[in-house]
Amino acid sequence: MLLKFLLALALSLFFCTITAQETPEKNLIGRYIDYLFNDSNAVSEPKLLVYPTLGFAPETSWEIGLSSLYVYYAKQDTANRLSEINGFTFYTFENQYGFWLDHALYSDRDKWFFLGRVRYQSFPLLYYGQGSDAPSDYLARVDGNFLLIKERVLRELWHSFYLGLEIDFQHLFQVEFNQADPENPVEIPLGGNGSTNLGVGLGLVYDNRHNVLNVRKGLFSELAFLKYDKAWGSDFDFTSVISDNRIFRPVNKRDVIAAQLFGQFTTSGQAPFNQLALMGGESLMRGYYLGRFRDDNLIAGQVEYRFLPFSFLKRWGATAFLSAGQVFSENDRFDFSRFLPAGGAGIRFLLFPDKDIYVRFDVAFTREGTGFYFFIGEAF
């Protein structure tokens, strides 16, 4: 992950150097770089970005990929909120591959809101066990294929209040549960041989953000109820409730302070191991491997100060962030003393000036190590 971060940073600096040099004529690559970094089109016009990625991780060896971002305003009206579609596909030298697609789409006058993601990947998953006392060394490596389709179709009821259908489909198949220590095998968790589950429910959302990739002022709050049931094809019966609350406040013309409080709770039944509440990842509790800690319930929060941009640089900024969270179950109950801390900082490069979209390079620190992240758009 460190190598991916450094390569991405070097690539961006190289592009910035090229675009700073004025030449009478530009070849195809030069024109494309100019298109990427000099947002000369009208603010209301759509923008498409496609760029390669390169990374290395112990679990995957070398990874090559292609990322894309498409942003637009409905009917090219900047009074509407900025919609975005973000795609990423990758292949590793260990014959692992995947495709991600995230979107936040607003209709004209923001009356309809479509928020969702698609994940398909053949990729290793490290399993550390369940609970807040999971060991620091992983217990098994789970190889298999994974498909996730999560969609919210929401209709505005009142100004910025939305209500609608939420669907969550997850399919884990062709699974091999490889024990880290075959001489002392651990019990295969619920769903460890694969499962298919469909959750259907309702979501209530308040959202007055204008630009979901970089919110300077606004509030997002979601309360979702999802029921997974064998009656509509799920392998397991359980209920999940999600509460996601984010607030963004400007400090001055450039700086923003952002905060998030997130909770996921299994209120009935038993969820398979891959659909328990997972701590870590590139957005919340950065620095922890996604799923390093997992259990029936999760509470986590974070606060971030964003310099967007610096007062002395037009296209460069930075952030500093702190977070804390814990997983727990009915037997291993919530305890304030069990919160795990994380924190870090990052740099920002203003990719689309007219649309106020940044590339982020974050480094996060935890008690167990360091994580590096390279993405377009803020973490939350």
In three-state form (DSSP H/G/I as H, E/B as E, the rest C), the secondary structure along the chain is: CHHHHHHHHHHHHHHHHHHHCCCCCCCHHHHHHHHHHCCCCCCCCCEEEEEEEEEEECCCEEEEEEEEEEEEEHHHCCCCCEEEEEEEEEEECCCCEEEEEEEEEECHHHCEEEEEEEEEEECCEEECCCCCCCCCCCCEEEEEEEEEEEEEEEEEEECCEEEEEEEEEEEEEEEEEEECCCCCCCCCCCCCCCEEEEEEEEEEEEECCCECCCCCCEEEEEEEEEEECHHHCCCCCEEEEEEEEEEEEECCCCEEEEEEEEEEEEEEECCCHHHCEEECCCCCCCCCCCCCEEECEEEEEEEEEEECCCCCCCCEEEEEEEEEEEEECCCCCCCHHHCEEEEEEEEEEEEEHHHCEEEEEEEEEECCEEEEEEEECCCC
pLDDT, mean of each 10-residue run, the chain (380 residues):
48 46 60 63 86 68 86 95 95 89 96 97 92 94 96 96 98 96 94 97 97 96 98 97 98 97 97 97 93 97 97 95 96 90 97 90 92 90
Q: Domains in the chain, start-ordered, CATH in brackets?
A: 2-376 (2.40.160.50)
Q: What is the pLDDT of residue 101?
A: 96
d(CA 340, CA 326): 6
Q: What is the pLDDT of residue 6?
A: 47
Q: Model pTM?
A: 0.87
Range 333-337, long-range pairs (CB < 8 A, 24+ positions): 334/297, 334/299
d(CA 104, CA 71): 10
Nearest of 240, 142, 144 to residue 198 by alpha carbon: 240
Q: What is the pLDDT of residue 136?
A: 92
Taking the alpha carbons at both ends of the chain, their separation in whole angstroms is 21
